Structure 1
């Protein structure tokens, strides 16, 4: 299989950052999950020791492939409707155990995606749906879906919420075209 240049838009927590509900964020370019997962896993595979399985929630994906090519081999893809946050993807590996990533809808504006990537990769622990709800609550609408409970993301409503703090943090951004 010929070498492909990485195309994933990805932000990960730094090595020194403690792990929490999310290890970073992924902003796919389309809703073609087979193509997008392959690009994502190609980037994470060398960082994690070897991606062995991928799990998604099918809520926002029109088609879920059974497997995808990753660095010359096939990796199984599974889906969970109730066990996995609809805004999250799980990639399992031999070395890191797992990558839990916020999935930013491809239709999201560049500014909103940047805030979400920073929040997921540098901020205090928050769930994927809580970050999506916070983005909508604080910045309004260029996201593909509407969060149902913005109060969850805001916490007690003050400006010291995990989302606000996270968007001011630092992260490691991996992006290529």
Structure 2
């Protein structure tokens, strides 16, 4: 086992997906480093079972318009940037031989509490009801809705 493979197996991929990808936002991916290119092989391996052999990958952002974390947008629940709820989110479209998936890419420096909420919400996974009124749950909802808007605009 080479060093890169050992590193990947020691740090499992942080990915959530809906059961049947192809309709709007299909899930979210939370890379561990700012260099997503280094983590793409692991993401592609994880998506192969759902999408088939990956044939194309497209992103809707550049490093110039990126934020280091989603918490920066909300300042942990308090609107930090005017219009942050309408800000386009990072969406990656992954096309396989048998299906296509659109994933919200959560910036690596996002706090675990917010990132986990975003991952769960993006894939339609349940969240304990005690979190429904929390700032992070509400922020995750807004972030995922903004990503769904991006996906809808890409479809037209």
If the length of structure 1 is used for normalisation, what is the TM-score?
Answer: 0.50
| Secondary structure class of the residue paired with 2:108 | coil
| In structure 1, C-alpha distance between the alignment counterparts of 2:24 and 2:63, rounded to whole Å | 20
Deviations along 1:41-90, whole A, 9 cap, x unmatched?
1111133211111111342489xxxxxxxxxxxxxxxxxxxxxx551101
| Equivalent of residue 28 in structure 2, options 25, 29, 33 | 25
Aligned to 2:102: 100
How far 1:105 moved relative to its partner?
0.6
| Secondary structure class of the residue paired with 2:32 | coil
Q: Tell me the C-alpha RMSD between the 2 structures.
A: 3.5
| In structure 2, C-alpha distance between the alignment counterparts of 1:137 and 1:59, rounded to whole Å | 27
Higher share of residues assigned helix: 2
| Secondary structure class of the residue paired with 2:94 | strand
| In structure 2, C-alpha distance between the alignment counterparts of 1:39 and 1:53, rounded to whole Å | 15
Aligned to 1:14: 19
Change (3 A) 1:37 1:61: farther
Aligned to 1:138: 138
| In structure 1, C-alpha distance between the alignment counterparts of 2:61 and 2:51, rounded to whole Å | 24
| In structure 1, C-alpha distance between the alignment counterparts of 2:51 and 2:111, rounded to whole Å | 29
Moved over 6 A (4+): none
Change (3 A) 1:36 1:119: same
Aligned to 1:46: 49
If the length of structure 2 is used for normalisation, what is the TM-score?
Answer: 0.56
Change (3 A) 1:19 1:46: closer
| In structure 1, C-alpha distance between the alignment counterparts of 2:41 and 2:121, rounded to whole Å | 24
Unaligned runs of 5+ in 2: 66-87, 126-134, 146-156
Change (3 A) 1:107 1:119: same
Tell me if structure 2 keeps the 8 A contact 1:24–1:117. Answer: yes
How far 1:118 moved relative to its partner?
1.2
How far 1:7 moved relative to its partner?
3.3
How far 1:19 moved relative to its partner?
4.8
| In structure 2, C-alpha distance between the alignment counterparts of 1:94 and 1:56, rounded to whole Å | 18
